[in-house]
Amino acid sequence: MRLFESLLLILLLLQLFWPALAGHRPRVGLALPVAALLLFAIHGLWEGLRWQMIPAYVLLAITGLLALGAYLRGGPARQRRWPTILAFVLGLPLWLLAVALPWALPVPGLPAPTGPYLVGTVSYHLIDENRPETYSPDPDDARQFMAQLWYPAASIDGAVAAPYIDHVEIAAPILAESFGFPRFLFNHLNLARTDGYLAAPPAADGPFPVLVFAHGLTGFRGQNGFQMQELASQGYVVAAIDHTYGSRFAIFPDGTVVEYDAEVAFPPGVEDAGNRLVQTWAGDISYLLDQMEMWTAGAAEPGEVDWTGRLDLDHLGLFGHSTGGGTALEVCGHDERCDAALGLDAWVEPVSDDVRAAGLSQPLLFLSAPDWISESNQQTGEAFYAASAADRYLLTVAGSDHFDFTDFPDFSPLTPYLGVAVTDQGAITQAAVQAYTLAFFNHYLRGTDEPLLTGPSPRFPTLTFRHD
């Protein structure tokens, strides 16, 4: 709950109890609703109004009108007790509801980045004219997707804080519906801001190593925002893609919206649909890397941000969640530019047979929930781990579930009880994801010594650690 929301609710509670605490003194009693009204104005202008606070707004109006009426009637001799009693009896349940709703559905706030750099972010609409869009009903469509980069920034002067989700007025109802919730439930995401600033100039002390993140099936490019801005603050350029037809939504600059459709992504009777999806996503990443090579060489105009000499693609890491974790393995199995791979509860089964059989020659880290999606996926992942030749790590967070590895635990304190693969271990899992992702890429892309990679850590007593 935000600051002025909390202060407003405290004042409203005082208004309910004021007649009993202070007697009937209408002139003094009017000061509380006036103060509450001022707080309401500050809250609306500074923080923004949201539907979860509607009971508070209604209570503000009721208590204000009652106080005004008492003031106009003039004094204690003319006071009537029954309106005060009725206001309290009806107002207290309304106040409790006013507290419960914004607590249950807070405006998500990502952890503040801890690195030495400010964070910039910019998005691109990319079209690969050499790849037909196999998921589109139009055979003439070329593959297109949205990509977003987070990066170390030189300055944020004059820059605007980036929203948590672009085009949130379109995306939020789709996201809520995907969890089986009413479409309006996540409308407050329009108030969520990040610590990344739009098109801020990149820091001049690059080039910076590059990381590419792939979301899970029905995810979106910002689903691990807590990682994106932290890694950027630590001196990485981090790219993520909305993998069209596999992401929950892809929203293009011309207003076109492509929502996930299971029958399109996994057509009935198509046995290799999962592998086709992973290969398509891997193609997206390889195409993005091709573009980034041109951007940093100064051979193409990327738009708002000048990337010339800023991208160190000789030090490249891939990571992803679920299907995106499998995509990271697929890319590293076929694209020699990859230097290290990390999978967050990765779906390994749809990875191509040749990649699964050979494993990876690059360093590999799996960080997973105990179930690792399914028993068959766990067996496939362990076989992949055994087949890989370089340094490899197999880490498990006890008590965690699939979406604990994303931002979703921050959407509501009730998520562990809603059947959406989030547990009460979300904060612990996110902390482990943050720490081990940074340690892994620091060690294998920058050559730093990382104690976390040497064995079990007392910081994470619920995490099992294996290194081969």
Q: What is the 3-state secondary structure (H, E, C) of 233-266?
A: HCCCEEEEEECCCCCCEEECCCCCEEECCHHHHC
Domain final residue pick, 104, 135, 155: 104
pLDDT band at 31 (very low <50, low <70, confident <90, very high): confident
SS3 label, residue 145: strand
Is residue 49 packed enough to be buried (19+ CB in 10 Å), middle (13-18) or exposed (0-12)? middle
225 and 77 share one domain: no
- For residue 178, being part of any structural domain is answered with yes
Give the model's pLDDT for residue 87.
66
Q: What is the mean pLDDT of residues 298-314?
A: 88
Specify the higher pLDDT residue, 425 or 241. Answer: 241
Q: Per-residue pLDDT for 21 more than 60?
A: no
Instruction: Read off the pLDDT band of 420 (50, 70, 90).
Output: confident
Domain count, the chain: 2
**Domain of 168: which CATH number?**
3.40.50.1820
Over range 263-269, report the average pLDDT.
Answer: 93
Last residue of a domain, one of 48, 80, 104: 104
> Sorting pLDDT into bands at 50, 70 and 90, what band is 15?
confident
- Domain boundary residue among 46, 79, 104? 104
The answer to the question of residue 79 being in a domain is yes
Confidence grade of residue 180 (pLDDT, cut at 50, 70, 90): confident
The total of other beta-carbon atoms located within 10 Å of residue 270's CB is 11
Residues 6+ apart with CB under 8 A from 349: 274, 326, 376, 377, 380
Helix (H), strand (E) counts: the chain: 12, 13
pLDDT score at 77: 44
In this structure, the answer to whether residues 91 and 130 fall within a common structural domain is: no
The predicted pLDDT at position 56 comes to: 95
Residue 18 burial by CB count (10 A; 0-12/13-18/19+): exposed, middle or buried? buried
Query: Is 109 within the bounds of a domain?
Result: no
Shared domain check, 404 and 343: yes
Whether 50 and 144 map to the same domain: the answer is: no
Instruction: Indicate if the pLDDT at residue 23 is higher than 60.
Output: no
The model's confidence at residue 334, banded by pLDDT at 50, 70 and 90, is very high
Q: What is the pLDDT of residues 198-241, one digit of tens each?
A: 999 999 998 999 999 999 999 999 999 999 999 999 999 999 99
The reply to whether 440 falls in a domain is: yes
- Confidence bin at 27 (pLDDT 50/70/90): low
The SS3 of residue 114 is coil
Same domain, residue pair 240 and 360:
yes
Q: Does 270 map to a domain?
A: yes
Query: Does 76 have pLDDT greater than 90?
Result: no
Both 256 and 139 in one domain: the answer is: yes
For residues 468 and 465, what is the distance between their CA atoms, to the nearest angstrom? 10
List Cα–Cα distances, 456 to 394, 437, 467, in angstroms. Answer: 11, 15, 10
245 CA to centre of own chain: 19
Residues 126 and 96 occupy one common structural domain: no
110 falls within a domain: no
Decide which of 29 and 150 is more confident: 150
Question: Position of tokens 């379109």?
Answer: 170
Q: Are residues 312 and 267 in the same domain?
A: yes
Percent of the chain with pLDDT over 90: 82
- pLDDT-derived band at 397, boundaries 50, 70, 90: very high
Say yes or no to pLDDT of 395 above 50: yes
* DSSP class per residue in 66-110: HHHHHHHH-SGGG--HHHHHHHHHHHHHHHHHHHHHHHHS----P
The answer to whether residue 319 is domain-embedded is yes
Query: Is the pLDDT confidence value at 394 over 90?
Result: yes
pLDDT at position 269 is 85
> Is 113 contained in some domain?
no
Q: Give yes or no for a cis peptide into 207 (omega within 30° of 0).
A: yes
Beta bridge partners of 343: 320, 366
Three-state secondary-structure class, residue 131: strand
More confident residue, 16 or 153: 153
- In order of 218, 291, 353, the CA distances from 252 in angstroms are 17, 18, 34
| Domain residue limits at 49 | 3-104
- Domain shared by 51 and 157, yes or no: no
The reply to whether 168 and 230 lie within a common domain is: yes
pLDDT at residue 410 greater than cutoff 70: yes
Tens digit of pLDDT for each residue in 335-388? 999 999 999 999 999 999 999 999 999 999 999 999 999 999 999 999 999 999
Residues 379 and 235 in one domain: yes
Percent of the chain with pLDDT over 70: 94
Give the per-residue pLDDT at 74.
60
Helix (H, G, I), strand (E, B) or coil at 361: coil
- Are 34 and 168 members of one domain? no
